[in-house]
Amino acid sequence: MTIDMSQFLETFYEESFEGLEIMETELLALDVGEADSETINTIFRAAHSIKGGSGTFGLNAVADFTHVMETLLDEMRDGKRQVTEEAVNLLLTTVDVLREMLTALRENTELDSERIKVTHDQLEELLDSSSSSSTVQETDNSSKDVPAGAQSWHISFHPHVNLFKTGNDPVRILRELETLGELEVKMDSSALPEFNNLDPEESFLGWELELKGEATREAIDEVFAWVEDECDLTIMAAEAEAEVIHAEAEPEPEPEERSQTEGRSTASTQSRKPKAAAESTSIRVGIDKVDSVINLVGELVITQSMLSTLGESFDMSKVNSLIQGMEQLELNTRQLQEQVMRMRMMPINFAFQRFPRLVHDMSQKMGKNIELKMTGEQTELDKTVMEKIGDPLVHLVRNSLDHGIESPEKRKEAGKPETATLRLNAYHQGGNIVIEVIDDGAGLNEEKIFAKAVEQGLVPADIQLEPARIHELILLPGFSTADEVTDVSGRGVGMDVVVRNIRSLGGSLEVWSKPGHGSKFTIRLPLTLAILDGQTVSVGEEDYIIPLISIIESIQLTSDMLNIVVGKGETFKLRNEHLPIIRLHNVFGGSPNTTDLIEGLLVVVESDGRKIGLFVDELKGQQQVVIKSLEVNYKRIEGISGATILGDGSVALIVDIPGLISLSNQVTATGRLKKSA
């Protein structure tokens, strides 16, 4: 029976990468000096699994490399070795190298044998450097070699009374010996007690055996390997000198060691089957999620069959049942949709888990003391959103570490603890996930930002701006305050890229900062990109969808609320705020039923903490809409985030509220009315 081992490789890679993540996380959590044994055990276990799997699935280079790592971890686990910073850093590098090796093997690209060798040697060096003696044991089997020409073996086999207690069976052993040659069996029942005293669960029989043929000593040892501690065993070559062995006399040969030594020589030349680079296109879904979908599909089928029975003989007297059935159908569909969406949801931890390492490495590099605190790692969001938020998050964290957090000396001068704290928080709020990056560093330097913005021609020099508006300047394209390009950030790829990425996910970024106290970046993202709760509004013949989460209220204006400033556009007063008005028909065209602000409706929407009023004809229903990309199907339009198909088959455009608000900002900031129709 031959089994193609490559079919298990993909699973092996996936779990190995997970194992590496675990190792990395736990290594970073290790307290140098007084390491928690459970943590070391977890790291050991991950390394151990990778070693076992790679050996089994023929990835000998990986098995060999992991073996050295495992030895080191084993010594730490047994307390034979101190957990030093040096060792932890080397292990982290080892994790990186392993990840590269596995990636290279998976994508069938060249292994970086130089780097592997260097790390391998460093590990060996570290192993040799200590008092510990537990290095790879070379097993010497020569002493066990069979005297050549042995024709037969005499075996005396007397199991101890409790042989059965480990599930072993002398009959199995005898049967196995029989396969090695011609076997003569003499039973010794002298130890058998009186029947009354006999405990059937104990073993009393012994055997004197003659094995004739070509059997090697090793093969015989192998047969008794499992029971050598549970019997009195003598194996003698019948024609040679008696060689007496008792149970614990000799160590077991290590087949594992042997295969690894072989592996070492073939590792670099092993041929791999070409295989298409596997992108991470699969997701792991908890069985409970799948079960609940199956359950709901069952419900749906029941409702469907009920409706079709109803349809076979329908008359108006059954209209109530029909309505009920439809309601049931709607409920089922909505639940099913929710559950299916849940399948795509993953904990934000997948995006967060790279940060402990990043912070660890960067704080060492920059000579800063930084403690990373993360909360809400289990908050779930859509997989696609997760994949796209990773890079913006890294950018924000790097910025905080580089620009925000001061050196320990400066912090001390400012009367702050020398160790800075960087927080990553995630939580759900409404239909959004909120991610915060908070540092207790110096905060944004408002004067410098303003001066730079003026210098770069982004704002006029004579303008007066509130601190909050100044903070927003850093989000503008082309803005950078870095005096020099550092290794860490400030390469000129500015915050505007971060903002653009977040906007493209339908999210927003908020900046908060207080000089001397730190800064906070808040990312708000929709939980999913596929579906949105929308409010349908109409302007003339056209329907538009406004995302429900951005709507604060809808009001009918009265003339005393209106305030029309010449050259500055229209505003209205809502309680104590003056808010700009945007007429949807001005932005998107079309002929509205009314252009009188008093007659139509104003939908007050908010994004990034700013509010505007959208002037529309009337409100229609609220419903969940499936978002279709306008860019893919047509082209990108300012102020529109997508399109959807309504129940009657017509197409409605989905209004991009953050986009519209920034449009209105340009209007109020520059005083020029910019129409993009």
Distance of CA 666 to the CA centre of its chain: 39
By the 8 A CB rule, do 160 and 237 touch? no
Alpha carbon dihedral 159, 164, 170, 175, in 10-degree steps, equals -160
Instruction: Indicate which single residue of 92, 104, 136, 465 sits in contact with other proteins (rule: CB under 8 A).
Output: 136
Residue range at the interface with other proteins (CB under 8 A); choices 164-172, 312-320, 483-491, 596-604: 164-172
Under the criterion CB under 8 A, does residue 166 sit at the interface with other proteins? yes
- 175 versus 275: smaller Cβ distance to other proteins: 175
Min separation Cβ 281 and other proteins, Å: 18
Which secondary structure element, helix H or strand E, spans residue 289, and what is its range?
helix 287-312
Residue range at the interface with other proteins (CB under 8 A); choices 247-255, 351-359, 544-552, 581-589: 247-255
The SS3 of residue 270 is coil
Under the criterion CB under 8 A, does residue 1 sit at the interface with other proteins? yes
Under the criterion CB under 8 A, does residue 159 sit at the interface with other proteins? no
- Give 432-489 as a DSSP string: EEEEEEEE-S----HHHHHHHHHHTTSS-TT----HHHHHHHTTSTT----SS--SSS
Under the criterion CB under 8 A, does residue 350 sit at the interface with other proteins? no
Instruction: Indicate which single residue of 36, 125, 145, 229 sits in contact with other proteins (rule: CB under 8 A).
Output: 229
Under the criterion CB under 8 A, does residue 140 sit at the interface with other proteins? no
By the 8 A CB rule, do 167 and 200 touch? no
Q: CA 170 to CA 193: how far, in whole Å? A: 18
By the 8 A CB rule, do 119 and 66 touch? no
Under the criterion CB under 8 A, does residue 599 sit at the interface with other proteins? no
Contact partners, residue 673, CB within 8 Å, separation at least 6: 569, 667
Q: CA 208 to CA 205: how far, in whole Å? A: 10
Under the criterion CB under 8 A, does residue 259 sit at the interface with other proteins? yes
Instruction: Indicate which single residue of 28, 61, 63, 385 sits in contact with other proteins (rule: CB under 8 A).
Output: 63
Under the criterion CB under 8 A, does residue 254 sit at the interface with other proteins? yes
Min separation Cβ 19 and other proteins, Å: 9
Residue range at the interface with other proteins (CB under 8 A); choices 52-60, 102-110, 210-218, 624-632: 52-60
- As a residue count, the chain comes to 677
Amino acid making up residue 266: T
Under the criterion CB under 8 A, does residue 49 sit at the interface with other proteins? yes
Under the criterion CB under 8 A, does residue 137 sit at the interface with other proteins? yes
Residues 11-30, mask of contacts with other proteins (x by CB under 8 A):
xx-xx---------------
Min separation Cβ 231 and other proteins, Å: 12
Interface positions, 616-675, toward other proteins (CB under 8 A): none
By the 8 A CB rule, do 519 and 396 touch? no
Q: CA 578 to CA 569: how far, in whole Å? A: 12
Q: CA 588 to CA 593: how far, in whole Å? A: 15
Instruction: Indicate which single residue of 80, 165, 246, 672 sits in contact with other proteins (rule: CB under 8 A).
Output: 165
Under the criterion CB under 8 A, does residue 289 sit at the interface with other proteins? no
Give the pair of three-digit tokens for residue 508.
Answer: 């927003």
Min separation Cβ 196 and other proteins, Å: 22
Under the criterion CB under 8 A, does residue 39 sit at the interface with other proteins? no
Residue range at the interface with other proteins (CB under 8 A); choices 251-259, 394-402, 502-510, 615-623: 251-259
Q: Which of 86, 75, 96 is nearest to 20 (CA)?
A: 96
Contact partners, residue 231, CB within 8 Å, separation at least 6: 157, 158, 159, 160, 163, 224, 247
By the 8 A CB rule, do 304 and 243 touch? no
Under the criterion CB under 8 A, does residue 255 sit at the interface with other proteins? yes
Under the criterion CB under 8 A, does residue 9 sit at the interface with other proteins? yes
By the 8 A CB rule, do 550 and 534 touch? no
Exposure of 522 by Cβ count < 10 A (0-12 exposed, 13-18 middle, 19+ buried)?
middle
- 1 versus 632: smaller Cβ distance to other proteins: 1
- 42 versus 400: smaller Cβ distance to other proteins: 42
Under the criterion CB under 8 A, does residue 251 sit at the interface with other proteins? yes
Min separation Cβ 224 and other proteins, Å: 11
Min separation Cβ 214 and other proteins, Å: 19
By the 8 A CB rule, do 338 and 380 touch? no
Beta strand 577-583 with 610-616 is: parallel
Min separation Cβ 227 and other proteins, Å: 8
With CB under 8 A as the rule, give the number of residues binding other proteins: 46
Residue range at the interface with other proteins (CB under 8 A); choices 170-178, 359-367, 583-591, 642-650: 170-178
Min separation Cβ 505 and other proteins, Å: 32
Under the criterion CB under 8 A, does residue 446 sit at the interface with other proteins? no
The SS3 of residue 148 is coil
Under the criterion CB under 8 A, does residue 172 sit at the interface with other proteins? yes
- Give 20-59 as a DSSP string: HHHHHHHHHHPPSSS--HHHHHHHHHHHHHHHHHHHHTT-
Residues of the shown chain interacting with other proteins in the complex, contacts defined by CB under 8 A = 1-3, 5, 7-9, 11-12, 14-15, 42, 44-45, 48-49, 51-57, 63, 136-137, 164-168, 172, 175-176, 201, 225-226, 229-230, 251-252, 254-257, 259
